[in-house]
Amino acid sequence: MIGFQLRLKNLYRIEDIFRRYFEIANFFEWRCDYTIVQYQTKTIPWNYPVYRRALWIQIRAWILIAYTFTSLFIDDDIYCFQLNYFESILKTERLDLLGDFILIVLLILEYIWFRNFRSLRTYRLGFNNVIGRMIHYDKKRLTEKNHQILINKYNLMCLIYIGLYQLSRVIFSSLIIVLFILFKIGDDWDQIIFSFIIMFLAFLHSEIILGLFFVTFVHFTFTFEFLKTRLKQICVQAELLKNRNHSDILSYTIRKEYGDLFYETSTLNQTAQYYFMLHEALTKTSMIVGTIFFSRQIAINLFNSLVLFSVTAFSKLNKKYYKILNNWCCRLIISRNSKPLGLIIKNGMFIQKIQNNRLGFNLCGLYEMTAFKHLESFLLNFVFVLMFYKKFIMNTNKLT
């Protein structure tokens, strides 16, 4: 199992980390079996062995979606999950809200997979285009200090999140076993076999979802840190050269590094924006469902994730780099007559492009992921909580 291999082995080269990320993405996200060379040369053999896992996972996912939907809206079927029965055993209410949340998660995940699989079939998957470049990234373009910081951060994140992944697998397995034991089956063997199959499918699919949220998340976050570190390094180099009034501040190497960084960020955003949307949708939905559900229990427990905090730094760093270059141009405005006119125009156009570039990530085109927007989205969670609490909970208490 990939999670087991990750837990045992540390990596010490950037290219090896992204090779592993490509394998993990194929296993958990795209669910296909092909190599990066086949993708780059557009020679993926679209036969059954390639998309076998995708086919069976899709069948399993839609069986669980249909079963969850049926259990939520058909209460008297002996083959369905008896919500009223479990509410009486667990001494709780409104388990149907948790069922709604699970249904939303399954539907969103399958929708994102379908979009990515369609891009994969046409060889336009932004993730693969970027990973193919990062696998061959020259570590000499990073300082030794930044390279070591990234490696240590990756190994630490793997230790934490892969451990959480293994722990979550054990918890979910135990939960499924307990639900099967508590399931009101009776002596009907057809119902026993059907319930066992559903629980087994739920166990298999939970590994895919947990792997997506834990194992893939490690590498997803590391990719952002890798891009952000390169942008920080460009800013530091520009700051040093500006203080020395050095003309190499806009050398071909620096312009190429910034251009590569902008291309990789914007291309990766084509895939990442849907996962940002998934994060926002799940955050808002879980806050609402959690408020309504736990308000009917003993206490209220609210949880909000700050996963996207590191992504908001790209816009700030891009503006910082523009200010450094702009200040450098102001210092050298007197000596421009001694420079070739073509070079002056080229440097001026490059600086203007930096100002106009939206280097960073966005939420499916709705807005750019900046620190202000992230804080605004975080505070919006509490607005949703207060709105739905007043709308549903207080009205329900008045009726009772």
| pTM for the whole structure | 0.76
* Residue 399 predicted with pLDDT over 50: no
Predicted local confidence at residue 325, as pLDDT: 78
Hunting for tokens 């992921």 — which residue is that? 369
Whole-number pLDDT of residue 340: 64
Structure tokens at 368: 């750019």
Residue 324, Cβ density class (10 Å: 0-12 exposed, 13-18 middle, ≥19 buried): buried
pLDDT at 39: 92
In this prediction, residue 298 has a pLDDT band, given cuts at 50, 70 and 90, of very low
How many whole angstroms separate alpha carbon 234 and alpha carbon 238? 6
Using alpha carbons only, how large is the chain's radius of gyration in Å?
26
Phi and psi angles of residue 241, each rounded to the nearest 5 degrees, phi first: -70, -30
Higher pLDDT, 138 or 247: 138
370 against 241, higher pLDDT: 241
Is the pLDDT reported for residue 1 higher than 50? Answer: no
Burial of 191 (0-12, 13-18, 19+ CB in 10 A): middle
Separation CA 271–CA 269 (nearest Å):
5
Strand partners, 362: 368
- C-beta separation of 323 from 345 below 8 A: no
Q: Helix %, strand %, coil % for the chain, to 5?
A: 80, 0, 20
pLDDT tens digits along 165-216:
888 888 878 877 777 676 655 556 777 777 788 888 888 888 888 888 777 8
Structure tokens at 384: 């949703």
133-137 long-range contacts (CB < 8 A, ≥24 apart) are 133/260, 133/264, 134/14, 134/15, 134/18, 134/223, 134/226, 134/264, 135/15, 135/18, 135/19, 135/22, 135/36, 136/15, 137/14, 137/15, 137/18
Strands, DSSP E only, in 32-164?
none
H or E element in which residue 127 lies: helix 126-134
Higher pLDDT, 336 or 357: 357
Lowest mean pLDDT among 110-124, 203-217, 308-322, 380-394: 380-394
Q: Residue 4: what pLDDT?
A: 41
Percent of the chain exceeding pLDDT 70 equals 65
Mean pLDDT (the chain, rounded): 75
pLDDT digits 0-9 by tens, 339-394: 666 666 677 777 777 777 777 776 666 666 666 666 666 666 666 556 655 555 55
Tell me: the pLDDT tens digits for 57-93? 999 999 989 888 887 777 666 666 666 666 666 666 6
